[in-house]
Structure 1
Amino acid sequence: MESDFLAKKQENVELNETIVKLKEELNEAKSQVVVTGLTFESNIEVEKRKAEEEIATLQKLVHETIEESSSSKSFHNTEIERLRLIIHELYTEIGELKKQQQYSPHHNNQEHSLAPSNVLNVLTKGIVKKLGADSFSSQDSLDDSLKKYEDPEVLRSLVEPLEDQIKALKEKLRYTDEQLQKCRECGHNDPSSYKVDNLETATITSQTEKELRCDMCQNYETQLVNEQKKHKELSAKAAAAEKAVERHKEELLKEIGFRKEMEEKWNEKREELKHQVAELMSSTKCAEQDLKELHQMLNQSRTEFRSSLLKLTKDRERIHEEIKKLQLENDNLVGKYTLHSQELQSQAINLPNTVEELHELILKNNQELIIAKIGKENAEANVNNLQSNILLLNNQISNEQHERESLENNLMQEINVLKDHNIQLERELKMFTSNQGRISELEGQIKELLNSKKQLVDLNSELKSRVSALQQELDISETVQKDFVLLSQSLQVQLEKIRASDLQVRWQHEEDIDSCPLCHSSFSNARKKQHCRHCGQIFCQHCLTREVKSGPSMRASKVCDVCHTLLVQTSAPYFSEAPPPT
């Protein structure tokens, strides 16, 4: 019996060791899962921040280009309207000049003024008046207006229609000049001896024509000189505009190179994120394999524990059967001895005749009586030992059942938590892949950037709330682990005390104890010493509050918490409400 009990005890110790190892492995797996989750969340936050920054820069560039294109378009439209008005006014002025040529009495004096150079002077003067001094005042004003257009295509579209309109005006002026010359030939007027050199030089050949020149001719010459200067300024402005176009071409090439670099960086980041996703998938697979192994180990430990419980129940039944057998044997022995005593009483007393025979008879009866007493004492000792063993086994079985149930519940809770966490990781991986796909389509989906930004902000807040929840769970698990450590320490101390109590006198003397072993407060007149009626230890009044009824009169006796849990099997353990003090 003792060997079986020791073997069962050793099996229980081994089971407890395996349970502790499983707990350690489970805690390690939880910590690894938490660490991987935190690193994954931090990587997601970093990538999201980078994506938001790049999105903001792209948005700024897009808004700037849109604003510049809108401003250039509005300016271009206004300039076109102004030029159309100027052309219309030029048409009206040409018509008026034709009328003056037909109905003027001083035709000979106005011949010189109606030359192509003079007509061109008048037209350029009108153009200057209509355009205003703001657009042709200086080189700086043109540069300032050209700096507004960052896109060289817009500048080209602005310059080309102006050149076409200037060519059209030149052709119309030539046509009017030809018509005027035809009119002079038809009127038999003397041809003028003026030479025109493309709006640049107009010289007078004869001295008589100088005397006949009127004040209007002098004014026209000054206007011609001014128009030549303005023509040079316009050519310089056109050269500056061409330089600006070249500069904007270079900037456009730089912008194209920058965009290519950004695309390459995006592709590199995309590859890096793909590798990270693959690593996370592998880590999740490893975590799933660890969970499967833990499930298998848990099932194995459960089956082993059940088998050990079955063995213990079988041993218990066997011990009950042995006790019954011993009880029957004891009853048989008592019945035999009673029958034998009755027979002896009924028998006639036949004493021997000699003293020696009488002595032999007395010795024989004494020897039989001693043998019967020894058998009775051995039977009672066996019965007591078996009863104590049964009680211990019952207590151990109940404790092991409670521990097994609590361990199973804890392990199932932890497994459920790990499953939930794994599901969350998979969801986050799906979200991460979807966000990566969105990032790859950002260049073509500028209108959807605001919605995606809101989604990223919401996801960031959810991740922060999850991190805080995980931190709270971690704090709770740490406190629970600390409570388990305190509980194991206190149970170890109580176990050592119970083991040591079998080797010494249990009843403690009041002179030997100075403080309560639970609250560690020193005794005084207000705080008196009281003994536990079961283990004999001394406690204070506040710590010794449990009572157990015992004896034939069911008298209430004060006992400590440990003895209360040992004596009252239906009560909850003393460490179920709070961790015991160490």
Structure 2
Amino acid sequence: MENGKNFQLDEDQHEQLNYLEMEKKKMTDEFNSQRAKMKELFLQKEGELLKKIEENNILVDQITKLKNELDDTKSQLVVDSIRLESDFEVEKRKAEEEIASLQRLVHETIEESSSTRSLYDQELTKLQSYIQYLQKEIEHLKIENSQYQQQNTNQEHSLAPSVVINACKGFAKKLGADAFGSSDEKNTEKTQEDVELLRSLVEPLEDQIKALKEKLRATDEQLQKCKECSHLIMEPGRSTVQTSERMILHNTSTNTSFDMQKSDNLICDMCSNYETQLVKEQQNVAELKNKLQKAEKAAERHKEELIKEIGFRKEMEEKWSEKREEHKQQVAELTKITDCTEQDLKELKQYFNEATKEIKTELSKLTKERERIYQELDKLQKENEHLVGKYTIHSQQLQSEVINLPNTVEELHELVLKNHQDLIIAKIGKEQAEEKVNNLESSFLLLRDQMELNIQERQAIEHSLEQEIKNLSRHADKLERERREFVAKNVDVTENEGKIMELETRIKELESEKGELKTRVYSLQQELQTTETVQRDFVRLSQSLQVQLEKIREESDTQVRWQHEEDVDECPNCRNQFSTSKKKQHCKHCGQIFCQNCLTRSVQSGPNLRPSKVCDVCHTMLVKSSAPYFSKEPPMT
């Protein structure tokens, strides 16, 4: 019985040992697998930590790069804003100066156009009055032509028509040839022709006056001879004198009739010349009117263009002001954005530094924990090896040894209790190992969660930075578009400046054309004035000469040339009454009595060249180089 019980106890112990060995083997397998898993997890975590460190370094580099780019963009934006403001100020100042110059040019062109219009109106009125005057002169010449024809039919004995017609002939030739010349050579030729005309007009008068003087002397001699002779001789003498005078007058009348026949043709030529001159003047007036209308249209067109240009400049100024305000707002927004980004960068940098510090501390902790785990693993491995060695030794010993079961139940109970205690110790070691594994897994999970949080934060930071980069790129594109628009506007400004230059050149051309028209109008006015003065002088000369010749003719036929003091009571020139106290003075040439104011001229006569007082008419006839008595200026030589 005791042997059977001992054998049963040995079997039970053997089963327990097998069970314990199997449990131990399972525990070692589980421990080895858990150790392998822990090693793999540790290596994986270490690789992930290295990747995180590399990614953090890359993020640091990207953040520094983005910060540098932000600094560059900020400085570039500041420089661009300053440059844009300076360019805008320069362009605005140029635009203001150009607008002021354009407004000044507009006012000047308006004033000049109004002044030129008034001048053109005055010139047109003058030309119209001159045309009317020429028409009146033509009518007057036609009347004189009819009168001369009547005088030719009546055969009046006169010396004035031949002289006047000869003078008219020369003057008509002069007017027909050089009435409206504009050059200086023609003016000098006109002055020379004026002198020649006056000489040709005065010389026949002098010849006729000399002939009249000789005639009067001959008549005086004949009268003196007749006084000495008897009445019988005096009568045939008078008859002979009268016949001789009649012959002379008949000769002069034939000469005048011949000259009158010539003068008709000359007057007709003068009329035709006047008509051609009138046609030319009318054509000139029409041309001036057309030019005036064209100039007014051009001035209005330029005025409209300048008004449009001023409006365009105002619109450009308004747009520039709007763009300037927009740029200011954009610069303010960009400064705010840059400040915000700088603040965000500072916060990110601070957060990154804190995160790096925390990660470094965690890494240091993890490295320490890894070293500790390595040490524990080594220790466990050593213990395992030791246990395996012990187990193998113990198993070998057990296999080699003979199972010596205790013989007594008490010893068997002690052995069971000992094995049970060893099993409890092994379970406690297993539980401690599992607890360590659980702690490592929990720390691993915490580290993984923290790493995931760091990854999410990094992704959020990257996303925000990408959004900021996109915003900055969009803003840079917007600034580039604005720069292109600014360049296009600069091109438009240059084109407008070219148009302004063209308008200025056109205005200068119009001003030069206006100056040429002014000079032409001035030359025409001067020619009109000279022709009017010459015509007036010619009319006055012809009238005064005709009157003087009529007086001389009448006086030569009726009375002697020397006037007696008691026969004359007033001056024939100024019609002032003579005073009884003063002695009346005679002209030494014609013998008429004049007042002291009208007898101021003197000529040298005789072999001793004594000064003799003469009247204005006689002075004009005696002194060839002097001015005519009806004119204040001497003749041009």
Q: Give the shorter-chain TM-score range.
A: 0.3 to 0.5
**Structure label with greater radius of gyration:** 2
Normalised TM-score (structure 2)? 0.35
Normalised TM-score (structure 1)? 0.37
